[in-house]
Amino acid sequence: MKDRIYLDNQSTTAVDPRVRAAMEPFLRDRYGHPASRSHPYGWDAERGLESARAQVADLIGAEPREIVFTSGGTEADNLAVKGVAEALEPKGRHVITTGVENRPVLDACAWLQRRGWEITCLAPDAGGRIDASAVEAAIRDDTVLISVQYANHEVGTVQPVAEIGEIAASRGVLLHSDATQAAAWLPLHVRDEGVHLLSLSANKMFGPKGVGALYIRRRKPRARVAPQIHGGGHERGFRAGLPDIAGAVGFGLAAELCRTESKSDTERVGALRDVLEGALLDETGATVMGSREHRLPNCTNLAFEGVEGEALLVALPEIALATGSACTSATAQPSYVLPAMGVDKSTAASSVRFSLGRFTQPEEIDRTVVRVKDVVARTRALDPRR
C-alpha cells in the first residue's frame, strides 16, 4: 500500500486515526442501546449519540435537535426530497433541481416524476454553476422544494447557495442542499445561508462509512418532512431504526475536526492541488473542467485531449483516480455532469478527476505529475492522427 497514491477523496476518504480511536470503545464495551435508560450501557450509548449530534450541529451552525442521523448522504437526500414532497403535497407538486446534482437527488426527483410530480431541472453554465436568477424564474405557486447541491462531486464547482436561500425565503419555498462534498472544506452556516435541509456524509469528511445526517430546520420556518423509514420513534420520528452509535461517534469527531482544522487543511491541500494542476496544465496541455473561481480547494477535473480517461486510469493502477462520480462509476455509466455543462462527448471522455485529502503528501503529487505526464505523452505518440 505504501507505493499507492490515493487521489479519489471525493468518492470517499480515509478515516482519521483520531476518529477510529473515538469509535473503538463503542465497538468494544459501550455497546448499549441509547433507548435503554435503566442501565449504564444505555446511558453511555445515549451520551455518545447526543454528543455526536451536538458536534455535527456545531459544524453547520444548527441546533442538536435539528440533526437526524441516517445511513449516509444517499438516505439523507432521499429523506429530504421525498419527505418534503410527501409532507407538502397538499400545497403543490413541483420541485426545482439542477442537472448536476448528486445522483440520489436526481433519482429521487425521477421517482417523484413517475408519480405525477413536475420537476424543473435547471442547466448550469459552462463552469457548472447555477444562476440564482434562473432558480427564481423557475419558482411557481405550487413549488414546494428547491434542491441545489453546495458543491459538485465531479468538478468541485461551488453553487451560490446563500443567494438561492434568500430567494427561497422570499418566496416561501424550502431549500435543500447536498453538502456532502463541501463540509470538509468550506465553512457552512445553515441559518445565514437560508438552508432548510442539508445532507451530510461522514465518509466524505474523514469519518466512517455508513453514517450521515440530515439537518431539518425546526423554526422560522419549520421544515416539514415525512419519514421514509417506519418502525419506531428513533431520531424524533424522522427515521426509524437504531443509529450506528460507533459510527455516529466517529462522525461527530470528524465534524469537530473539520470545524477546527478546515482552514489549515484547506490552505495546505489547496496549495498541493494548485501544484498538481499547474504542472499538468503546463506539461500536458490539459483543460480544466468546471469553474476555476468557484470551486472546492481539494479537486481538479482535467481533460487530456487525445487520451481516454478510462485508459489513463488503467495505465495508472497505483494511483486512485476517477472519471465520474462514485454513484455512477459502479454501474459503468459515463459522467452526466460534464454533458450537462455543455461539454462535448470527446472531451468528457478524456476527463479525469483528481481529488486530494487531509493525508495527501507533496511527494505523492510529484510522483503523480511524473506518471501522468509520461502516460499521456506515450498515449498521444501512438495516435496516428498526431
Q: Measured between alpha carbons, how far apart are the two ends of the chain, in Å?
A: 37
Is the pTM above the cut of 0.85? yes
What is the structure's pLDDT at 24? 98
Domains identified in the chain and CATH numbers:
5-12+262-381 (3.90.1150.10), 17-256 (3.40.640.10)
What is the structure's pLDDT at 329? 47
Question: Which tens digit of pLDDT belongs to each residue from 242-295?
Answer: 999 999 999 999 999 999 999 999 999 999 999 999 999 999 999 999 999 999
Closest CA to 226 of 330, 90, 321, 340: 90
Cα distances from 16 to residues 111, 237, 263, in angstroms, run: 36, 31, 17
Angstrom distance (rounded) from CA 199 to CA 1: 32
Buried b (16+ CB within 10 A) or exposed e, 368-382: bbebbeebbeebbee
Angstrom distance (rounded) from CA 137 to CA 156: 25
Q: Which helix (H) or strand (E) holds 18?
A: helix 17-28
Question: Which tens digit of pLDDT belongs to each residue from 200-233?
Answer: 999 999 999 999 999 999 999 999 999 999 987 7
Annotation says 327 is catalytic: yes
Strands 212-216 and 351-355: unpaired
What is the structure's pLDDT at 383? 74
Question: Which tens digit of pLDDT belongs to each residue from 112-137?
Answer: 999 999 999 999 999 999 999 999 99
